[in-house]
Chains A and B, each alone.
Chain A
Amino acid sequence: MKTQSTSIKNQVKPGRYVVILKNQSSQTIKKVQKDLGVQLTSSEELSDTLRAHQVIDNSNGLVFKNLNIAVIDNIEAAKLQSVATSRSPVLYWEEEKEFRPANELDQLREIKNTHRLLKQQIDQLEEIIRSRQDEGDTGWENATWGINAVALKKNGFTGKGVNVAILDTGIYQKHPDFANRLIEGKSFIQNEVWNLDGNGHGTHCAGTALGAQSAQGGMRYGVAHEANTFIGKVLSDAGSGSTSGIIDAIDWAIEKKCKVISMSLGSPVGVGEPPSPIFEQVGRRALEKNCLLIAAAGNDSRRPNTPRPVSSPANAESVMAVAAIDRQLNVASFSNGGINAGDGGRIDIAAPGVDVFSSFSENAPDGSLYASLHGTSMATPHVAGIAALYCEAFPSLSAAEIWLRLEKNAKQLPDQLIRDVGRGLAQAI
């Protein structure tokens, strides 16, 4: 091995050049021989008894067949330079280089060095990531499971300056958690005011999306607690309303420059029933005006046996449909799925919707002004609050781009069907 290596090494000699020729015609070969004063032999003449190194050593040069390359011995660079004119058959030349077999120890040394540098870089990266996590710690000890599931960061965005509308049963404005908040509202229900909420559902949804940093007892439950709150009462204290009332309220919220509208409401849709062109038009026009409509997928399913299609208006292509998941990050038994997905009625994203703690009106079951509820109604304001954080973080993005970011950053739920949870669990920023 060592002998062979030495032998190869010795083949490289000073004054030996590799030359690229224009072609291998006899005229070219003759001109090169004449200009450089060398004798060239074709590689076709090589055999077991006549080897390349012998030809090059003895006859000055060898032309390799089909390659237009010659190796020429005993010549000076100056001579090559002098003939390398535009009309010369010599196109390019360079001194022959020495190639050695790779030294395994050298290679190992280089790998060790690369490994050391990589380790340094990985350590630095780990340090940066750890420091970022310390700054925006997502592990809340005293928060709802939903707040932790959506990875809300302690020092992250708060929705500050973003107008968000909750279209629901109103809000109990005297709730202590909303006492110091500027809230604007309007009722679209005859003879009922927006700021009392005889139902409690609206106060619960508003609390999840925009509620205080901590409940009186200290439990954190609101996602975007510094967003500007707009309340549209579109559902009566009995919990029902009409499509036209909702459209009226969406129009109002857009006029109020709301960038996000949360709708924890719906009406059931049959299997194979296409979405209403009405809400498709409303959703598209809202997006054009930089406003994202987010709606509950509906609670008509009885899983695992009977999943039902996404309700209206969530089944419109231009309205974001939200499914509910439980603490184990499984789709909730009641949560509707993308059964009519071919017609646009797919699930876009999922959020916590089982056993969700939030504020409630004065008619709370235990009189505590708080309640834990289940439903896609509870999942929807999680996403609306998160959307407000994105709007604050990326003020120049359009509503459609915010939608895409929400989906892109969602946490995939590999054990769940896309039909049931869409792109996955919505994540805060």
Chain B
Amino acid sequence: MWVGVWRKPFDMRKNVYIGLVDRDFTLNDEVLGYFRDQNINVLDFKENFDIIKLESCDTLECKNLKYLTHLELDRIVTTQSEDEDE
């Protein structure tokens, strides 16, 4: 019996992205439907900042998607104390 840890193949892992949208952007059914058609989950929308959080198994590019003015991967951020970094 196989007892190893099963890992998802790389192309099945979901990437989380953060994107900028225009100030008049509204997260309505039409927008949600569009992203669903692109196999993209909308995780969050910060109205105060016009920032949208997306999730997808595919590699996303801003130029290929409607509504977005900028898109980047959600980055890892760490503490900035030497004791822990070194």
A binds B: yes
Q: Interface on A for B, CB 8 Å cutoff?
A: 168-169, 199, 201, 204, 234-235, 239-248, 251, 254, 264-267, 276-278, 281-282, 285, 289, 296-299, 311-312, 334, 373-378, 380
Which residues of B (2-56) have their CB < 8 Å from a CB of A? 16, 18, 20, 43-44, 46, 48-51, 53
Is there an interface contact between A299 and B82, defined as CB atoms closer than 8 Å? yes
A87 to B82, CA, bound (A): 89
Given A243-B75, A251-B46, is A264 in contact with B51 using a C-beta cutoff of 8 Å? Answer: no
Chain B interfacial residues counted at CB < 8 A: 25
Question: Binding site of B, secondary structure by majority: helix, strand, loop or mixed?
Answer: strand
Is there an interface contact between A235 and B77, defined as CB atoms closer than 8 Å? yes
A377 to B48, CA, bound (A): 27
Given A247-B49, A254-B48, is A277 in contact with B20 using a C-beta cutoff of 8 Å? Answer: yes
Is there an interface contact between A282 and B84, defined as CB atoms closer than 8 Å? no
**Shortest Cβ gap from B73 to chain A (Å):** 9
Given A248-B46, A282-B51, is A276 in contact with B82 using a C-beta cutoff of 8 Å? Answer: no
Is there an interface contact between A278 and B18, defined as CB atoms closer than 8 Å? yes
- Going nearest first, the 10 A-B pairs with the smallest beta carbon separation are A375-B81, A296-B80, A377-B80, A377-B81, A374-B82, A239-B79, A201-B79, A375-B82, A243-B75, A277-B70
A293 to B28, CA, bound (A): 31
Q: Which residues of A contact B77 (CB under 8 A)?
A: 234-235, 240-243, 245-246, 265-267, 312
Interface membership of B83, Cβ < 8 A:
yes
Q: Which residues of B contact A312 (CB under 8 A)?
A: 75, 77
Q: Which residues of A contact B85 (CB under 8 A)?
A: 299, 334, 375
**Shortest Cβ gap from A165 to chain B (Å):** 15
Residue from the list B20, B51, B72, B83 in contact with A374, Cβ < 8 A = B83
A311 to B85, CA, bound (A): 14
Is there an interface contact between B49 and A244, defined as CB atoms closer than 8 Å? no
Number of A-B contacts defined by CB within 8 Å: 110
Which of A240, A244, A254, A282 has the most B CB atoms < 10 Å from its CB?
A: A244
Interface membership of B64, Cβ < 8 A:
no
- What are 26 of the A-B contact pairs (CB < 8 Å)? A234-B77, A235-B77, A235-B78, A239-B84, A242-B77, A243-B74, A244-B74, A245-B77, A247-B18, A248-B46, A251-B48, A267-B76, A278-B20, A281-B49, A281-B50, A282-B49, A282-B51, A299-B80, A299-B82, A311-B80, A312-B75, A373-B81, A374-B82, A375-B81, A375-B82, A376-B80
Is there an interface contact between A264 and B79, defined as CB atoms closer than 8 Å? yes
**Shortest Cβ gap from B50 to chain A (Å):** 7
Residue from the list A242, A246, A376 in contact with B16, Cβ < 8 A = A242
**Shortest Cβ gap from B19 to chain A (Å):** 8
Q: Which residues of A contact B74 (CB under 8 A)?
A: 242-244
Is there an interface contact between A244 and B20, defined as CB atoms closer than 8 Å? no
Instruction: Name the residue on B nearest A242 (C-beta).
Output: B74
Is there an interface contact between B80 and A243, defined as CB atoms closer than 8 Å? no
A265 to B77, CA, bound (A): 6
Given A373-B82, A375-B83, A375-B85, is A247 in contact with B76 using a C-beta cutoff of 8 Å? Answer: no
Q: Which residues of B contact A289 (CB under 8 A)?
A: 48
A85 to B72, CA, bound (A): 85
Given A244-B18, A247-B18, A278-B70, is A285 in contact with B48 using a C-beta cutoff of 8 Å? Answer: yes
Q: Which residues of B contact A234 (CB under 8 A)?
A: 77
